[in-house]
Amino acid sequence: MKFSNSLIKGKLIKRYKRFLADIELENGEVIIAHCANPGSMLYLKKPGSEVWVSPAQNPNRKLKYTWELIRTNGTLIGLNTGLPNKIVEEAVQKGLIAELTGYDSLKREVKYGKNSRIDILLQRPNLPNCYLEVKSVTLKRPGKGTRLAEFPDSVTARGTKHLQQLSDQVANGDRGVMLYLVQREDCNQLSIAGDIDPNYSEAFSAAWKAGVEMLCYGCSISPEEIKIKRKLEIII
């Protein structure tokens, strides 16, 4: 997925009120950027860090910039949780995710379950429907393994609900797939952070036993694009 506009480099001043960040651009201008990430962003909000923002395409938007990337310990990390669905969609269409090939229809945001929308629905005649949820992963904690990513980075009741609903689809004869997209290049494994959200950890185990397929893929990241790079191991 290529960024539609060239990203602008700056320096993080602070993240606050969850969805806002003060950033100083290289020209000295201080801006307020939209932070499209509802998580805690542990270890990803150190003042003075190199960051990149995208300019808004809508001239009427209140906040004129969106915070896209940060560099931490030499690694670029994608922060925008609004992008992973598009990244995965492009990867599926290009046949880069082996487990999700063989379908001839891809739809986004289809209603299913209990007042929910599936991120991606894959279909083909004579095949079970494939309900695919995508989660953005950015957490990597010191002392938890030098190349270990973790999810979630905060309590996520919504994420727990998605696991339960995927289990329901499997019970109905469909495929249910949870794909964790690690938006950083310094990890080769993923585990569930049960100490951060025990309920999510329990739901993950239950969904796994119910037949929900768990996938994890890592990305290559630059200020020009983010794309699927390779499959990563999930530690159960």
- Residues 169-189: what's their mean pLDDT? 97
- Of 17-31, 53-67, 178-192, 213-227, the poorest mean pLDDT is in 53-67
Is-contact 179 223, C-beta < 8 A?
no
* E-strand stretches of the chain: 8-16, 20-25, 30-34, 50-55, 65-72, 75-78, 105-112, 116-123, 130-137, 148-151, 175-182, 189-192, 213-221, 226-231, 233-234
Total residues belonging to the chain: 236
Is-contact 58 42, C-beta < 8 A?
no
In this prediction, residue 113 has a pLDDT band, given cuts at 50, 70 and 90, of: confident
User: Amino acid identity of 210?
Assistant: A
Is-contact 125 132, C-beta < 8 A?
no
145, pLDDT greater than 80: no
In this prediction, residue 106 has a pLDDT band, given cuts at 50, 70 and 90, of: very high
- Kindly compute the dihedral angle of the four CA atoms of residues 108, 114, 115, 116, in this order, to the nearest 10 degrees: -30
57, pLDDT greater than 90: no
pTM of the model: 0.95
What are 9-23's pLDDT values in tens digits? Answer: 999 999 999 999 999
Residues in contact with 197: Cβ distance below 8 Å, sequence separation at least 6, in sequence order: 152, 154, 155, 156, 159, 160
For residue 228, the SS3 value is: strand
- Residues 63-67: what's their mean pLDDT? 96
Residue written as tokens 């931490």? 72
Q: Of 180, 171, 223, 221, which is closest to residue 200 (Cα–Cα)?
A: 180
Please state which architecture CATH assigns to domain 8-78. Answer: Beta Barrel (2.40)
Spans of all domains in the chain: 8-78, 84-234
Assigned fold of 84-234: Trna Endonuclease; Chain: A, domain 1 (3.40.1350)
What are 184-194's pLDDT values in tens digits? Answer: 999 999 999 99
- Token readout for 56 is 């808004």
Judge residue 186's burial from the number of C-beta atoms within 10 Å of its C-beta, 0-12 exposed, 13-18 middle, 19 or more buried: middle
Per-residue pLDDT at 39? 93
Is-contact 19 65, C-beta < 8 A?
no
